[in-house]
Structure 1
Amino acid sequence: MKGVERQIEPAGLISMEFSILKSFAEKSEWTVTQLADVLPADAPRISRLVSKLVDRGLLRRRRRTDDRRVVLLRLTQQGKDLSEELRQRVNEHENRLLDGVSPEELETLRAVTSKILANHAIMEQSRGR
């Protein structure tokens, strides 16, 4: 079991559901399409996961007033509380993992990881994904 998953499992979430909840720290309202653009999952999967989060009372849906076709998602108070609690747990876990790693080493790791991810994205695009 992965470390982050171990931190969020007691809340009954999988990592992609946690990623959806974390997205609301950056922006208060999202559409499923917007979430699918920034998360590593397609819109149908995001939509299914959002429905589960709505059913659990962690997210709520509302239609945009100027375009009723657009459904906006927002965290409920319960979702905000859980998201904050889980982010703290995950941050503490990550801090323990990085104990003894210098800021310079961490910056090197981030730079190399960024290059690898960029190369992966280029490879995926060339495969037509």
Structure 2
Amino acid sequence: MLPTPSSPPTTLVNTAARVLARINDRRLRPLGLAFGQVPVLAALGQGGPLSQKELARLARIEQPSMAQLLARMERDGLVERAPDPNDRRVSLISLTAEGQAKLPLAHSALLGTNNRALDGFSPEEVDVLHGLLGRFLANLDAELADQR
């Protein structure tokens, strides 16, 4: 569905998310990254090592999709796996030196998209938008939790 002035907010958010993903993919491509990898890089950069299950939960994607994403990231030298010392059935994923080195570059590229998207917004408008989208996402997360 193409957005119109009377489109529901969910349509506008969905369209914005798809456009942001395309723009961010374009900005990240020269770094050898894809936008879908950013939640994994960010989570591991902040608190790694983490299990595949934890990463899937944080990135809000299904386990099979996370497995495919991690396989590609491992192939590309961004992440590595090690056995969990507390549970031999589980692997812990962490960033490689290459993955760690790309974090600030990815952050800078994404900040450029953020700045462009918010061009012309006042600081107050950005605060309001941030608050509203936070509530919007919390409602959707509650919907996901209800379905478990």
Q: TM-score, normalised by structure 1?
A: 0.84
Distance 1:125 1:28, change over 3 A: closer
**Counterpart for residue 69 of structure 1:** 89
SS at match of 1:69: strand
The superposition leaves residues 47-98 of structure 1 with CA deviations (integer Å, 9 ceiling, x where unpaired) of 1111111111110111122332221111011111122211111112312332
Structure 1: which 5+ runs fail to align? none
1:98 to 90, 94, 118: 118
**Counterpart for residue 43 of structure 1:** 63
Once residues 125 and 69 of structure 1 are traced to their aligned partners in structure 2, the CA distance between those partners, rounded to angstroms, is: 26
User: Comparing both structures, which one devotes a greater share of its residues to helix?
Assistant: 2
Percentage identity across paired residues of the two chains: 27
Once residues 121 and 70 of structure 1 are traced to their aligned partners in structure 2, the CA distance between those partners, rounded to angstroms, is: 26
**Counterpart for residue 59 of structure 1:** 79
2:133 to 110, 113, 119: 113
Identify the range of structure 1 (112-121 vs 28-37) with the bigger mean alpha-carbon deviation. 112-121
**Counterpart for residue 31 of structure 1:** 51
SS at match of 1:35: helix
Residue 15 (structure 1) aligned with residue 15 (structure 2): no
Once residues 70 and 121 of structure 1 are traced to their aligned partners in structure 2, the CA distance between those partners, rounded to angstroms, is: 26
Distance 1:114 1:79, change over 3 A: same
User: Considering only aligned residues, what root-mean-square deviation do their CA atoms show, in Å?
Assistant: 2.0
**Counterpart for residue 82 of structure 1:** 102
